[in-house]
Structures are given as structure tokens and as C-alpha cells.
Amino acid sequence: MAAQPAVRRTPTSADDLAPSPRHADGAVPVAPGAVPTEAPARSAAARRFWVLWAVSLLVATGVVLVSGQALRFPDEVAYLDLAQHLVAGHGYVNEVLMPTAYRPPGYPFWLAPWVMLPGSILLMKLLNVVLMGATLWFMHDLVRAQAPKVAWLAGAGALAYPVWTFTVSTLYPQPLFMALLMGMVWLLAKQGEHVSPRASVFVGVLAGAAVLAVPAFLPLSAVLAWHLFQTRRLQGRSGVPGLIHLGLGMALVISPWTLRNWLVMGAWIPVSTNGGINLAMGNNDMAGANTGTNLPISYFIAMLPTQVSEQEENRIFVQFALDWMRANPVHAAGLYAQKWLNFFNFQANLVTEQGHSMLKDLVMASTYYPMLAIVAVRCLWCRDVPLSRMERFIGLMYLCASLWMALFFTRIRFRLPFDALLMTWALISVGVVSARWQTRRRTMGA
């Protein structure tokens, strides 16, 4: 009997292009005694990743060492002051030693253990490099699960996107938030379709820590909830327990701070009180697509009574923004669209013009837009190879981040942690599209 020709199966999704669950590292079964030919390739790819990872961190360390103990932006000084007051035993207080909830507490609490050490500012910046290293490793493992042949490129993430390297040389919460965000996504990916209650709670703990660092993540945690809910539904189980476990983990982290605000500030403040001024700065007659905080503060101070509490100030600013949007619906809608488009901008109008140059704009544009272009090409191929669940999750998180931030105002700095998701998706896209292209060429050549 003549041998039957091999049947070529066209991948139906990106998951089909990924290693099988029984061989998560991409291995192919071999006969007993045979030498697995892909093992050297995997080992070489791992070495390439670690070499690039080390170079990325060495470059970031060099940038940090050059920056030294300097603090270049007002927000850095504010975060450091809050941490120093904590260590001094004053509590979470402002510059006049009054209890405050204006800034979210996550980052000052992260800085507090190190703030009294010699060379503390430099040390805290070096901790940002460690967080960057963790982020790159999370990216590598996420890509390796779906596009193992290109996963090693994640090691060059900080080299390919130099703005991350600059960010780790500042005392901003973005490196911490980025590591927490990628840790959540990585943990969900490792659990696959069988997310345990313990893992759901731990994701909630990470999400709670992320909210305390960057409160804008609070509504975006709904994307995590949706992913957990759908994952349990795929198992044929109710999705409600997953939501409860996630919420429990978040409450364990956030509720002590909310209780502190109730006891100390005498008001219901879930995280911070700076949301009102940010909403007002993004929604007024003078606001533009990229104005951000570059508006005269006197315009907003004039709205306030002589004596007003921090929480009442927040309420007044929120009410002003809502009233302005209701009174100017067409203008507000157009402004929202402009701010949303500005989320994808390569240029920021900084409050301090220090550090702005045409060269930096060129570097930003030439490193950010290629990632968007790659993801766009991947989406165009989704009919041939549908997006995997992880790709859909990453894409939804990135899109929701842009839509939520546009309600206030958009900044490159606010977007940077989410760009780790974009780079992960871009690398997966390179692997998926190249694998599909090679499959098509082999099919046409057969």
C-alpha cells in the first residue's frame, strides 16, 4: 500500500503556533536514545537573552551612575520628602507636616526602607534597574510561551527602547508599576486555563500594590477581572469565585490605606486626592491634547475657598470638570479624542523643559512607532491566525489604559509601563507572523 502523504495543518490561532502544553519550552518529542536537535538551539537562544539582558542592565546602571544623587524633577523631590517623613516618624505628611493623601503612598513606602542609607538616592535608582531586569525577564517568559524563536530579543528591551533607561535614573513610580504590571500578566499566563484560588489572590495583591503606586490602575483592574472570569468559564466553572479571590487580594493591600485615610483625614479616600486636579487640568477651556499640567495653577487656585481641606479641594475640582464637560459636550468630546490620540504621541511638553530636544523626539518616535506598526500588521493577519487569549488580554489592557487616561490627560511617562505590554505583543507578533509566513512558503513549495 502506498504511503499516505502527510497532511499539513494550517494554524487556527497563535496558540497553535506556540509549543504544546506538554512541551512548554518548545521541545519536540524524540525517539529514545536520539539526540534532541532543538536543545542546542534553545540553549543558544537562552544565552543570547541573558547576554542582552546583562548588557541592557549594564547600560541602565551606567546611566544611573551618571545621574548620581541628582533629582531633576519636582515630583522626585516630593516622593523623597514623603519617604523621609515616614522614616522620621512623622507619618504620611506633607511639607508642613500635615496628614496628606494627595500623592499615592505606594512609591514613598517603597522608598522608605532605603532613604536613610548613605547614597540613598543612587541606591534607589539602582533598585529601579533591578525592577527593569525583572520586567525584561517577565517579557521573555511571556514571549517564549507563544513565540519561542524570538523570545531572546526581550533581553534587548531597554536597549531598543531607551526611554526606559532614562526613566530608571529618576525617582518616579513607573519602574515599580511596570514590574508589578508585568508580574501580574506573567502569573496569569503561567497559570494558563487553570488559575488556582491562591494565584488569583496573589494577582489581586500585586494589583493592589500597583493601585497604591499608580491609582489610575484601579479601573483597569477590571481587565484582570474579565480575564479571570473568562478563564474560569473556559473550564466550565463559575467565574464569580475568581472575581472574589482577585478582589480579596486587592482589598488586603488597599483597605488598610483607605482605613487610614478615614481615621486620619476624616473622609472616604480610597487612594489619593490628586485625581480632581488632574481631571480639571484635562477638562477646561485652556486644555489641549498635550497641555497636561502646563497650565497656570492660579486658574485652579482661584476656584477654591480660602480655607479648604484636601479632600474638599479634590471634590471641588472633580465637580468643576464634570460641570465643564456637561456645559461643553462637543468641545469635551473633541478634546477627549485629541487626548486619546496624544496617548500614542512621541513628544511630551514637559513642565520643565529640561531634557527636551529634537534628538530625543527622534529616538522616541523611531523606537515607539515600529512597535505599534508590528502589532498593526499582526492584527491584519488575525484572520489567518486569530489572536491568542494572551494577545487579546494584552491588547485590551493597552487600549483601556489609553481610553481611561484620556479622560484626564495623557503623558508619555504615564504610558511607559504599558509599553512593556506593547513590546511583549510586538515580539509575539514577530514570531507569529514569521512562523505563518514560513508555513505558507513551505506549503506553496510543496
The residue type of 136 is: L
- Measured from the Cβ of residue 143, the count of other Cβ atoms closer than 10 Å reads 27
pLDDT of 377 strictly over 70: yes
What are 308-320's pLDDT values in tens digits? 999 999 999 999 9
What are 6-21's pLDDT values in tens digits? 444 444 455 544 444 4
Range 431-442 average pLDDT: 80
Question: For the CA atoms of the chain, what is the radius of gyration?
Answer: 24
349: three-class secondary structure by DSSP: coil
CA distances from 349 to 51, 88, 291 (A): 36, 36, 7
Residue that the C-alpha cell 533607561 belongs to:
165
pLDDT of 296 strictly over 90: no
CA distances from 153 to 140, 160, 259, 387 (A): 8, 9, 44, 21
Range 264-279 average pLDDT: 95
Q: Which of 171-180, 296-305, 332-341, 388-397 has the lowest mean pLDDT?
A: 296-305
Q: Is residue 4 part of a domain?
A: no
Q: Is residue 144 part of a domain?
A: yes
pLDDT of 22 strictly over 50: no
CA distance 148 to 431: 8
**At a CB cut-off of 8 Å and minimum separation 6, what does 89 contact?**
none
What are 156-194's pLDDT values in tens digits? 999 999 999 999 999 999 999 999 999 999 999 988 778
Range 199-214 average pLDDT: 97
Q: Is residue 123 part of a domain?
A: yes
User: Which residues, in sequence order, are bridge partners of residue 130?
Assistant: none
Residue that the C-alpha cell 548620581 belongs to:
68
Banded pLDDT at 378 (limits 50, 70, 90): very high
Number of domains forming the structure of the chain? 1
Q: Is residue 322 part of a domain?
A: no
- Measured from the Cβ of residue 438, the count of other Cβ atoms closer than 10 Å reads 10
Q: Is residue 237 part of a domain?
A: yes
CA distance 393 to 227: 7
Do the Cβ atoms of 348 and 339 come closer than 8 Å?
no
Residue that the C-alpha cell 515600529 belongs to:
370
Closest CA to 414 of 274, 263, 261: 274
CA distance 339 to 200: 34
C-alpha cell at 111: 522608598
Closest CA to 424 of 374, 361, 360: 374
Closest CA to 167 of 411, 424, 342, 338: 411
C-alpha cell at 117: 542609607
User: Which residues, in sequence order, are bridge partners of residue 93?
Assistant: 99
CA distance 28 to 35: 11
Q: Is residue 289 part of a domain?
A: no
pLDDT of 213 strictly over 80: yes
The residue type of 345 is: N
C-alpha cell at 444: 506553496
User: Which pLDDT does position 434 carry in this prediction?
Assistant: 84
User: Which pLDDT does position 349 carry in this prediction?
Assistant: 63
The residue type of 202 is: F
User: Which pLDDT does position 400 carry in this prediction?
Assistant: 98
Surface-to-core class of residue 288, CB atoms within 10 Å of its CB (0-12 exposed, 13-18 middle, 19+ buried): middle
What are 45-88's pLDDT values in tens digits? 899 999 999 999 999 999 999 999 999 999 999 999 999 999 99
Query: Which residue segment(s) compose the domain that 199 sits in?
Result: 45-272+343-445
- Among the ranges 291-295, 348-352, 361-365, which has the highest mean pLDDT value? 361-365
Kindly compute the dihedral angle of the four CA atoms of residues 433, 438, 443, 444, in this order, to the nearest 10 degrees. 100
| Length of the chain measured in residues | 446
Banded pLDDT at 30 (limits 50, 70, 90): very low
The residue type of 289 is: A
pLDDT of 345 strictly over 80: yes
Closest CA to 378 of 10, 9, 17: 17
Instruction: For the chain, give the mean pLDDT.
Output: 88
CA distance 97 to 94: 5
**Percent of the chain's residues with pLDDT above 70:** 88
Give the residue, 291 or 125, on which the prediction is more confident: 125
CA distance 238 to 244: 11
Helix (H) or strand (E) holding 1: none
**Percent of the chain's residues with pLDDT above 90:** 72
CA distance 130 to 344: 27
Q: Is residue 353 part of a domain?
A: yes
Q: Is residue 29 part of a domain?
A: no
Q: CA geometry: angle at 138 spanning 200 and 403, to 5°?
A: 70
pLDDT of 439 strictly over 70: yes
